Each structure stands twice: as C-alpha cells, then as structure tokens.
Structure 1
Amino acid sequence: MTDELALAFAPTCGGRLLSLVHDGRELLWRDPALLDGALRPVVPVSTWPTGDGGMSTWANVGGSKTWPAPQGWSGPDEWAGPPDPVLDSGTWSASWTVDESVVVVTLTSPDDPRSGLRVTRRFTVRDGSTRLDQHVTFENVSSTTRRWAIWEVCQADTAAGAASPSAGSSVVVPHDRAADELDLGTYEGELPSGRRGHDVVLPLGTGVAKRGYPGASGPVALHDEGGPVLALSTTPATTGTWPDGGAKVEVWLQRPTAEPIASLEGLHPSAHLVELEVLGPLETLQPGDASTLEIEWRVGPA
C-alpha cells in the first residue's frame, strides 16, 4: 500500500489481483454475488459455481488475472477456459518482500497439466507512486513443446460510466496511424466505436462485444471526464505473431443481459464491466524454456 494505492491479492482464486483502490475508489470489478466490499464471501465458497462445465459454471470472481492465449476449445493448442481449475481458480503460492519504499508481491501457479505451464506474476509497487510494474513468466514444465502468448485480463467496473454517458466515460485504445479494428465477437446490442484522431474510442454500456487492435501503440485505458482512470500497457516486441489476428490489445465490453448468451456456453452477463487486455507474442517453448512479459499499470490522471 502507498499513500494513494491499496492492493489486495487472492492467491487461492487463481493468483488474482482482486482489488485496486485509488484515493478511496475501487477500480476493479468483482462479482457482488460472491464477494462483498470487504472481500469477504457473500455465500460459502463451497457453494460457488463449480467450474466443471461451460461458462455458465464459471465463478467469475473478477479482478485481474493472467491466462494463456489463444483461447479456444478445438484442441490442445488452445486454452479451454474459463472456467479452469488451475490457472483461473486454483490455489497459487504467494510471497512478498517489503523495504522502506518498495513492495514486491510474487504469485506462482501450480503446474498446469493442460497448458503445460507454471505461471508467475510479480508485482512491484513503489511508495508514493501510482504506477505498478508487473513481470509475468510462463515456464514450460511439461515434456512436450508448447506455444502460448501471455495474456493479462483486467476487469474494471464501468457501472458509474454506463449510468452517466454524458460524463465522458469510455475506453481509449491509442494508435499512431489509422486503426485496424478486429471484431472478435458481437453478442448483444451494438458497439459503435469512434475515433479521436487515430485513437479508437469505445462507449460503455451499449452491448456485449470483443474487439482486437493489432496496431495499438500505447496503453489501453479506461477514461472518465477527468482523463485516464486505469491504463495497462506493454512494450511489444518488434517482430512476432500475436493470437486473434495479431491483436496486441483486446477489449471486452459488457452490460447486463436479460438472458444467457448461448454462443458463449451460457455465459449470463449481469454487470457493467470492461476487460482491458494486453498480450505478448506467441512463444514456442521447449521443455524447461520460459517466456516473459512486462506490463505497466498507471492509475489516476496522466
């Protein structure tokens, strides 16, 4: 914790960063049917969705987590989650160090037999700073070659912005040239993205959809009328191949729907939220090899 930030982690829920509070304002989304504002279970954990079927059985606790990409259900080269019993909801180990000005929190997954990975997330927080530095490592602990991209998925609460569109709340994806926008799925309503120069501006509360941006050139950010509220960025490799048509940044936007979405295995969106997602390139990992990705978080006005 610093003078401006308070963080909470949940090692037993997939190694999540579960809460990120800036000047008293919670920035991350959590499912209020599972956890209250003090991060206590609303109902016994034993009664949470079991995660043994499609997305309708997923206990989507919320927060920010690291998954392998590409996501899919057609074979072993795709990550068939969530739900997932190890990387999304398993019990990770946790350690931390504290000195006068720096806190380092390290979360490490169990060895995952499906992906062949051991995932490590290391967060560094400096006193008085509103920047977080995250270092992610994928290690191939299996006996076969694996190919995965590191994929950070941060769920942010957009209920206030969706309730008051006039406040200027939106998601902004920076580009230094004309943007190539990939429709990775439109499931309900519409997502009429606009442009501010070359930057893509996505409204809140208009539908349920996923978009990808191969040419993103800066931090994907949730904005309100005062400017950026939460931003995530990486320093992309200059060469390589990214999943989902080459997207280095992806955005999932959601509003509550009256019915489950059949094409998403019965997922039933019940909240206003956005997923700010940054990805590294696909890396071929021989047994024992590792890949890494550096992620920078910025909180509050630029």
Structure 2
Amino acid sequence: MRCLYRRLGAFLLLFFMASASAYSDVTVRQITYAGWQNAYQLSNGDVELVFVPQIGRIMRYGPVGGPNMLWNNPTMLGKTASLEAAAKEWPNFGGDKLWPAPQSVWNWPPDPYLDSAPQTVRVLPNHHLLAIGQASPQSGIRFEREIALAPKGDEVTLINTMINTSSKPVKWAIWEIFQANDPLRVYLPTNISGHFAEGYLKMSDTLPSIDRIHGQLVLSRSHTTSYKVGSDAPDILIRALVSGYTVSLTAKPLKGTYPDNGCTMEVYSNPDAAPYMEMELLAPIVQLRPGEQTRFVTQWHLGPPQGP
C-alpha cells in the first residue's frame, strides 16, 4: 500500500510539474502599447497578443516581432473615449471586441459601456487573462473574456461570457468582431442548403463582384464602398490573408436561433482610409434571467497563406 501511495504521489508531482512547465511557456507582462500604458502582453515565443484594458479590446495578434493581424486606427492610438462622447459618435479604435446582437435592436452607435469602456483585468494562475467588462444600464448585460494563449504555436482560445446584470430578462446573442488589418482576401463558407437562396445573405444594397470557389466566397476589400455579407454555414470558420499570413477564426456550432436570419458568420468590408475587414462570429440568441449567463468559445489560428 505504501508503494502504491509513493507511486501515486510521484505521478501527481510529475503531473503538476508538467502543468506548471506548460504555463511557464506563456509569459504575461504589462507594457506600453501604442501609447496605452499598462497593456497586457501574452507571448509564448511564437505569437503574441496584447489586450488594452482602457478601451476593452485585443489590439494585437501576430508572430513575435512580425506584423499585426488586427487593424489599429492610427488616429486613435493611445486615446480613450468617455461614455458621453462614445454614446454620440463611435470611437473606432480597431482590434477585437464583443457586442450584443442583433444590431437591429440597438442600431447605432454601439453601447459605450460594452464597446469602449475601461475593463478590469486579472492574471489567472494558468497565465490566462480574465477581462471583466462594465455592466451596461442600456443593454442590461456585461461581458467577460478569458483569453488563453497556447504554450506553443499560434492558438488563442477566447471564452466569451455574457451575464445579465439587470433586474429583468434580457435577450441577446454574443457577437465577436475581429477587425483584420487590410487583408488581401477573406474566405467565407457558404451553405446551399441553408436559409439563403444563393448560399449567403446579401446585407448591403450593392456588392462588388464576388468569386465563389469550393463552396466559399472569396472577398476583397473595396477601396471606395463598404459592404457586408453573412452566412449560415454550420462549419464556422472565417479566414483572411493578412501580410503574408492566414489568420483563422473558428467556433463550434450551437443549438438555437442565430441573429440576422440565422447567420453564424458575417464579413464587413470598410473602404479607404480605414482599411480593414471585419470577421464576425455569432452565437445563438438566448434569453437570460437576472444573474444568468451564457458562453461562446472562439479560437484564433495563424499560419502560412492558404487558398480556398
């Protein structure tokens, strides 16, 4: 029996040593990023990620020492926005963030408490970040994001949580918006057996010429006009070619009713002089009673250039 206990003890020691070693492969430090002090940088030696608490966004994702996959608005670097100013005019910082969907319920501009208000950050023992957003009296919710960088490689996992902070039921979906930095192309899967006759949803009155290859839309940014398309494809995967890399956003499909007539993914293209395209992932709409919460897990990957 003593021998069994000794073996069990040795196994647990090795397990915890291995776990600690994996965590130690990811470094977390506070830096000044693009004029924002006390930003949080995660790095595993392969890729790095930067979260800026003052504006509640991930503002960098890319190879260490390499290009940023996320667009940063050069006119907004180091700046913040008050709740009053953001309620009148959207402060487009760039980066990656969460909004509630559908947009048709709140229209424009976005809820400033959720979009650009300062957030609190905790560094967890496993070297993940927990970003805690502010409760919105307008939408009745707040967001939390657990941000995890894999010990090796390029994978980022985001556990996105929406919590009802109001005194009555609310009905929203979690909506992640990744503003890709002037991509050469974006690939959006279509679904010929879904809700939309052409396999995708035209969300703008006019669209540029769009190619379809191997069941995917091949989207390019228009320099002169904005446009948006959506898809209800069950395989949730959007890819963009940015600065010689392929950045991918993925999620597992969930049961329920999705926003915008069933869209699981959407792509928005912005014209010059703000050269970005949004890769957007959506969760189903849920009704939450006071204090209830729902989660939507998304992942990012970075690799060499890939076609359809």
How would you bin the TM-score normalised by the shorter chain?
0.7 to 0.9
Equivalent residue for 1:104, pick from 121, 124, 128? 128
Answering whether residue 267 of structure 2 is matched by residue 232 of structure 1, we say no
Indicate the residue corresponding to 1:201 in structure 2. Answer: 218
CA drift of 1:49 comes to 9.7
CA drift of 1:82 comes to 3.3
SS of residue in 1 equivalent to 2:60: strand
1:43-101 CA-partner distances (Å, limit 9, x unpaired): xx479992232xxx2210110001100113xxxxx2344343210111111111355xx
Q: 1:140 to 1:60 in 2, by over 3 A?
A: same
1:192-238 CA-partner distances (Å, limit 9, x unpaired): 22111211211223531011101252310102696x6211111011x
Indicate the residue corresponding to 1:259 in structure 2. Answer: none
Answering whether residue 108 of structure 2 is matched by residue 89 of structure 1, we say no
CA distance in 1, matches of 2:117, 2:96: 14
Q: Which has the larger radius of gyration?
A: 2
> Normalising by structure 2, what TM-score?
0.77
The structure with more helix, counted as a fraction of residues: 2
The AA in structure 1 aligned to 2:54 is: T
Gaps in structure 1 of 5+ consecutive residues: 73-77, 162-168, 257-269
Answering whether residue 271 of structure 2 is matched by residue 297 of structure 1, we say no
1:6-59 CA-partner distances (Å, limit 9, x unpaired): 21111121x211111224111100110111xxxx44xxx479992232xxx221
Answering whether residue 180 of structure 2 is matched by residue 148 of structure 1, we say no
For the Cα contact (< 8 Å) 1:82–1:88, is it kept in 2?
no
The alignment of Structure 1 onto Structure 2 pairs a total of residues equal to 257
The AA in structure 2 aligned to 1:293 is: F
Indicate the residue corresponding to 1:265 in structure 2. Answer: none
For the Cα contact (< 8 Å) 1:28–1:63, is it kept in 2?
yes
- Bigger mean CA offset, 197-206 vs 239-248: 197-206
For the Cα contact (< 8 Å) 1:150–1:279, is it kept in 2?
yes
- Within-5 A mapping of 1:165-204: 169-175=184-190, 177=192, 180-186=199-205, 190-204=207-221
RMSD: 2.4
1:131-186 CA-partner distances (Å, limit 9, x unpaired): 1000011111111111100000010111xx5xxxxxxx311013465662111124
Indicate the residue corresponding to 1:31 in structure 2. Answer: 73
CA distance in 1, matches of 2:241, 2:215: 17
SS of residue in 2 equivalent to 1:6: strand
SS of residue in 2 equivalent to 1:50: helix
Indicate the residue corresponding to 1:51 in structure 2. Answer: 86
Deviation >6 Å, runs of 4+: 46-49
Gaps in structure 2 of 5+ consecutive residues: 1-42
Indicate the residue corresponding to 2:271 in structure 1. Answer: 255
Percent of pairs identical after alignment? 28
